Amino acid sequence: MSAASGTTIVFLVAENRLLREALARILDKKNDLEVAGSCALSPTAMEQIMGAAPNVLILDSFTTGNGHLHFVREVQRRIPALCLVMIGMEDDEQTFLRTVREGALGYVLKDASSLEVVGAVRAVANGEAACPPHLCAALFRYLARQSNQVPNLNVKLGLGLTHREQQLVLLISQGMTNKEIASQLQLAEQTVRNHVHRMLRKVGASDRLAVVELCRLQGMPV
């Protein structure tokens, strides 16, 4: 179904049917919003979303679980211009940052009002971001930390370390264990072990701290 000019087409994905129906009623009352469909996460969910051709996709917080992140990524791959709004979210910095990394432009907490949900949908449809102010501050802090993790050209050329390996070096220099690094980078602990092992062989270092020292000699800020 095509929308009138200026109308934002919305699709809802939520496990709870009552939630889907309640949100649909709220959004459909707005002249500039139109709900083209809704469903729970299922094998046919992607087809339903593609068929509705929405501008904004609202996803309930269940989609942030590790078992459902592939769905979020697949939506982004198939419909790059689609704006994502996550609702019912936790007031937690790590969850928020992970959701932003997955491509969400809107982040609405579980105790948010209907007005806040509507506001988030309108904001992302206009190319803006929407999230609680204190989590916006967390995003700025995260970006400031990341600025120190830009791949260093001397390290890349001198030691041949990839961007991921340089990330590991920075975290190792902070005294983090493989388990802590895995949690920070959203990787399996075994994957981190494999990265570290290959890195040691690549630079000819005997242990993790030796890699950090080699990178420091190459000018990496660790």
Report pLDDT digits (tens) over 52-80.
999 999 999 865 555 566 788 888 888 88
Top pLDDT among 73 and 112 is at 112
Which spans in the chain are helix H? 17-28, 45-52, 69-78, 93-101, 114-125, 133-146, 153-159, 163-173, 178-185, 189-203, 208-217
Q: Does residue 148 carry a pLDDT above 60?
A: no
- Using 50, 70 and 90 to split pLDDT, how confident is the model at 17? very high
- The helix (run of H) or strand (run of E) holding residue 56 is strand 56-60
The phi-psi region of residue 40 (left if phi > 0; otherwise alpha if psi is between -120 and 50; otherwise beta) is: beta
Domains of the chain, first to last: 8-142 (3.40.50.2300), 150-217 (1.10.10.10)
In 3D space, the residue among 164, 219, 222, 221 whose CA is nearest the CA of residue 196 turns out to be: 164
Q: Does residue 102 carry a pLDDT above 60?
A: yes
Average pLDDT on 88-109 reads 88
Q: Does residue 30 carry a pLDDT above 70?
A: yes
Give residue for tokens 């934002």.
8
How buried is 195 (Cβ within 10 angstroms: 0-12 exposed, 13-18 middle, 19+ buried)? buried
pLDDT at position 151: 44
pLDDT at position 23: 95
Quote the CA–CA distance of 73 and 46 in Å, as a whole number. Answer: 11
Degrees to nearest 5, angle at CA 98 with 62 and 68: 35
